[in-house]
Amino acid sequence: MMRKVTYSMSMSRDGYIVGPDGSFDWGAPDEEVFRFWIDDIRGVGVHLLGRRLYETMLYWETADQGHNLDAAEREWAALWNPLSKVVFSTTLSAVQGNARLASANLAEEITRLRAEPGEGDIAIGGATLAAEAADLGLIDEYQTMVYPVLVGGGIPFFAQGERHVDLELVDSRTFTSGVVYLRHRVVR
């Protein structure tokens, strides 16, 4: 079976991953949502990241050094750090940890990763990278964690291209905090 490509991120109820000021502090996961993401990352074989998300996630590379992490944070770091990552950037010349800079364009990287033996999904993080993958018809599932907040603008979760894509709801969950998880499969 071919590995599927998933796009998973948190978004505001009005559809943004960050607000107009660049802030996403409203999307900090509570304990229950964080536990969900810990369990979810276990199903990922490789993570594709844009530069901004890569730089945000660099925190985890050294989080266990000099920080008082709780058990869940230690578990996340233990899963995230060894995970293979491919970073798409035109400005970075080097990356850290178990990451490499993309050596090809997004479509070529995904085609190659799908052809390689390996377990787990090919996850995409970052709106710009996901928009490119969506435009190319490469995303198989959209996984959104919808937060009960309106931010009024910013970077949208969904690409703004004029494409019609039919989706099928395959999973949903409502958390105690009012956050709602939605997992949709692209109908092909």
pLDDT tens-place string over residues 88-144:
999 999 999 899 999 889 999 999 999 888 889 999 988 889 989 999 999 999 999
Nearest Cα neighbor of 120 from 35, 46, 184 is 46
pLDDT recorded at residue 118: 81
Helix, strand or coil, per DSSP, at residue 35: helix
What is the per-residue pLDDT for 52? 86
Residue 40: how many other CB atoms lie within 10 Å:
18
* Average pLDDT of the chain, as a whole number: 91
Following CA atoms 9, 188, 112, 100 in sequence, which dihedral angle do they give, to the nearest 10 degrees?
-10
Angle at 112 between CA 107 and CA 117, to 5 degrees: 145
Global pTM value:
0.90
**Domain positions in the chain:** 5-186
Q: Does residue 175 carry a pLDDT above 70?
A: yes
- The CATH architecture annotation of domain 5-186 reads 3-Layer(aba) Sandwich (3.40)
Cα 132 to Cα 111: distance, rounded to the nearest angstrom: 14
